[in-house]
Amino acid sequence: MPELPEVETVRSFLYTHMRGRKTIDIKIINNKLRYKIPNDLKKKLSKLIITNIVRRGKYLILEYENSNFLLIHLGMTGFFRLSKFTENKKHDHLLFRYKNFQIIYNDIRKFGFIKLYNQKELNDSKHLKEMGPEPLTKDFNETYFSNFSKRNINIKSLLMDQNFVAGLGNIYCSEILFEASVNPTRQSNSLRIDEISKIIKYTKKILNEAIKLGGTTIKNFIVSDLKIGYFKNQLKVYGRENKICKKCQKQHFIEKIIQNGRSTFFCKRCQL
């Protein structure tokens, strides 16, 4: 599933091509996603201008001039493409028509969704209401982290909890904990303040680096424009089971375990 850097890459793509332009038409090609695409979407949003496109965690928010909002989640395989010609491809779901091109949403596995909200509905939506702070902001700091770290939960699961911090998933949690030298099975209430500081530091560092490189393109995620997900070449533990650790560079191999049904990669020697 796309994590924060991948969704930010898509946001940048949509911002470049959609913000400030009048949407000539909207066509629902196939409304069957995780939730059905609203039938009144065309009526409420056609002929209008998108005034802003932001990201919240793993969600995209498109703001229209009439104060309606589209909340978009890419699921496992959702992506947008730009086409200068009218062309429908298998698994296309929604088309935004502009003067000289179309932006089309495609989703093979249909786990993504597109919801229509007004301002109050958006703020109160179950998807956003309880979400934790953005990890790249000042709100994600040692004081905030320390209050949550008292919970009896392993640190990997804590970082994956969207109510604790927004946008992190399997790939980046494994990479962050590796750089911070923290074992993913450690209970969060056992962390020292210096370890918390390291986790915060590398969260911000790794996410910023991944955004610059367009995220990763592991498995089904497709980057929406010419910017390729080069960060996959920088991964030090994720997907490297049974390969030699890049940090200790000795005969210690990256291990893979399952935590809450998700794969975790780490070095038992480097991460204590």
Closest CA relative to residue 160, chosen from 169, 152, 151: 169
44, 227, 247, 262: which one is catalytic?
262
Is 3 an active-site residue? yes
Outline where 88-137 has alpha helix (H): 119-124
CA 267 – CA 53 distance, rounded (Å): 39
SS3 203: helix
Neighbouring CB atoms inside 10 A of 8's CB total: 21
> Tokens at residue 76, please?
């496992």
6, 8, 55, 58: which one is catalytic?
58
Is 11 an active-site residue? no
> Long-range pairs for 244-253 at CB < 8 Å and ≥24 separation?
245/269, 245/270, 247/178
Closest CA relative to residue 167, chosen from 233, 239, 230, 74: 74
DSSP 42-83: HHHHTT-BEEEEEEETTEEEEEETTSEEEEEE-TTT-EEEEE
Is 2 an active-site residue? yes
CA 7 – CA 128 distance, rounded (Å): 15
SS3 37: coil
3, 63, 175, 179: which one is catalytic?
3
Is 236 an active-site residue? no
> Is residue 141 within 8 Å of 200, Cβ to Cβ?
yes
Closest CA relative to residue 170, chosen from 158, 181, 156: 156
Residue type (1 letter), 81: R
Q: Which residues are catalytic?
A: 2-3, 58, 262
